[in-house]
Amino acid sequence: MLKIYGIKSCNSMKKAFDLLTELNLPYEFHDYKKLSIDKDTLKSWLSEIGQDFLLNKKGTTWRKLSAEQQQAALASEDQLIDTLIANSSLIKRPVLKTAQGYIVGFDDEKYRALQ
């Protein structure tokens, strides 16, 4: 079964939910705004996905961090994980776990290929 991570109110999440429903693909949803996200999951994502794909530097949450906070977050994997836990909006959405790996961000074509 697919597992999708994100924040329920996000527009990209809504597109993902709608398409998964349209394609009749069952999924489990993990709202990391309400349920948080644990260090082991983030460590796994950083290992498999990479920081460049996981960290949302275009969003307002990143821009609201001071230059010092941004530098501190990027100084080490542990500091990045702590920053992502404290500011889950910094994680690109959605993160979709499939049998083949992860799809980060909404990608209509990749979602349709899951059928």
Residues that are catalytic: 10
C-alpha to C-alpha distances, 38 to 17, 25, 41, 58, nearest whole angstrom: 23, 26, 6, 23
Do the Cβ atoms of 28 and 1 come closer than 8 Å? yes
